[in-house]
Amino acid sequence: MTAADDTTPETEEIPCPPCRGTGKVVSNLGGSPSTVTCPWCEGSGVFQREHDAQAARRDDAG
């Protein structure tokens, strides 16, 4: 087995690790837990390579 065998091809869809493919995560911002759309996959549940999960927050702050 080579190192290339251990990698996931870029065209293969894999579940988003932070939300485990559900499209939702639990946020504790504001003091109480709430379910929100996963910022890493935008709710799709599919890992998006090179997606910047913090981009929307930066845009809102500016």
Tokens of 15: 């579940």
* Spatial separation of the C-alpha atoms in residues 49 and 59, rounded to whole Å: 20
3-state SS track over 3-49:
HHHHCCCCCCCCECCCCCCCCEEEECCCCCCEEEECCCCCCCCECCC
What DSSP character marks residue 24?
Answer: E
pLDDT tops 70 at residue 12: yes
- pLDDT, tens only, 19-41: 999 999 999 988 999 999 999 99
The whole model's pTM is what? 0.66
* Spatial separation of the C-alpha atoms in residues 5 and 2, rounded to whole Å: 5
Q: Please state the domain extents for the chain.
A: 13-51
